[in-house]
Amino acid sequence: MLILLDKVTSGKDFKELARYLDNRGIEFFVWKDGMNRFVGMAGTLPQEDLERFPFIERVIEDYPPEIERLAEKRIEIKGRTISRDSFTVIAGPCTIDSREELYRTATALKELGIDFLRGGAYKLRSSPHSYQGIGKEGLLYMKEICTELDLVSVSEIISIEDLPLMLEYIDILTVGTRNMQNYRLLSALGETSKPVILKRGMACSIKEWVLASEYIARGGNKQIILCERGIRTFENSTRNTLDISAVPIVKKMTPYPVIIDPSHSSGRRELIKPLAWAAAGAGADGLIIECHHRPDRAKCDAQQKIDITQLKEILEKLPQITQLWSKKF
């Protein structure tokens, strides 16, 4: 349920409502659109309860057009824009192997017209005995290569302690699926001025994901990109189950660009093309794809990486789909 508060609602009144919802275990979030303040909640209040709060101006059923009036966010970075009017492709290796390998992949992507280079320096792995990433060295490579080739760098922050370092070296910070509910980290990112890609927690509902974005936004940083990367289900033909329906739903509930990660959701190279095209069909605003100039030599997750030729094939025909949604690409 979405409710619109009276423009003159006091902080005290709002706190009363917040306490009331909290006591009932109802999760909620708040949106401001100019003078308008909306409260969205997971659940419906009975009429009698609503009447207890005279400052509720009206109930807006089922997240309708009103929330779409919220100014859609445009993220500007190094002369590029990520927004709902365009289709953004972020590509690169999940893990940085070496400076040379990264450089080769980066130049090949640049030639394909891609502006955003992803590369992981730190890795969160289920087993402590698995490869944990190249570390700080990788951040340095990202910075040097992205400066030289005029690319925007994208990399995952895995712990709040790394924030100063990440801010110095990386242009767009990714919060991975295991950290979506690391609220201290999200709050800290809300104090920065860097764009943040917030991946969905693999067992988090859409509502929890949207609420998590509020931890960033309330600090003042609204340069948020939401990334659907698959949820955990009983199906094990794929690494996760890509929840493609999340794209149109989250675009209704928030003003942020929504992108898809077909690599982690499927874990299978041969599914990248159909899932990338499906994402575009669903109206997604972009993709983040694992790509490597020689996937079979990659240190990690080789089976879900595509090579440059495969990426080229995917991208060539994408505009036919993205233009259905009036997107530049």
DSSP states of 50-78: HTT-TTEEEEETTS-HHHHTSPPP-EEET
Helix (H) or strand (E) holding 281: helix 272-281
* C-alpha span between 58 and 2 (Å, rounded): 9
The span of 81-89, 134-142, 165-173, 239-247 binding a second copy (CB under 8 A) equals 239-247
Give the interface segment with a second copy, choosing from 68-76, 80-88, 139-147, 173-181 (CB under 8 A).
173-181
Binding a second copy (rule: CB under 8 A), the pick from 81, 147, 309, 320 is 320
Interface mask toward a second copy for 137-156; x: CB under 8 A: --------------------
Q: Which residues pair with 224 in a beta bridge?
A: 196
Whole-angstrom CA distances from 255 to 22, 168, 224 are 25, 28, 9
Among 211, 259, 289, 308, binds a second copy (CB under 8 A): 211
**Binding range to a second copy, per CB under 8 A, among 99-107, 108-116, 148-156, 247-255:** 247-255
**Residue 2, φ and ψ in degrees, nearest 5:** -120, 135
Closer of 70 and 319 to a second copy (Cβ):
319
Q: Which among 260, 250, 164, 163 has a CA at the least distance from the CA of 209?
A: 250
The residues near 4 (Cβ < 8 Å, ≥ 6 apart) are: 36, 37, 38, 56, 57, 58, 59, 60, 66
What is the DSSP pairing of strand 36-41 with strand 2-5? antiparallel
Determine which residue in the list 161, 164, 193, 326 makes contact with a second copy, applying CB under 8 A.
Answer: 161
Binding mask 46-65 for a second copy (x = CB under 8 A): xxx-----------------
Contact between 326 and a second copy per CB under 8 A: no
Output the smallest distance, CB 149 to a second copy, in A. Answer: 29
Question: Judged by CB, which is closer to a second copy: 26, or 140?
Answer: 26
**Window of 83-91, 101-109, 143-151, 233-241 that interacts with a second copy by CB under 8 A:** 233-241
248 lines the binding site for a second copy (CB under 8 A): yes
Cβ of residue 129: shortest distance to a second copy, in angstroms? Answer: 5
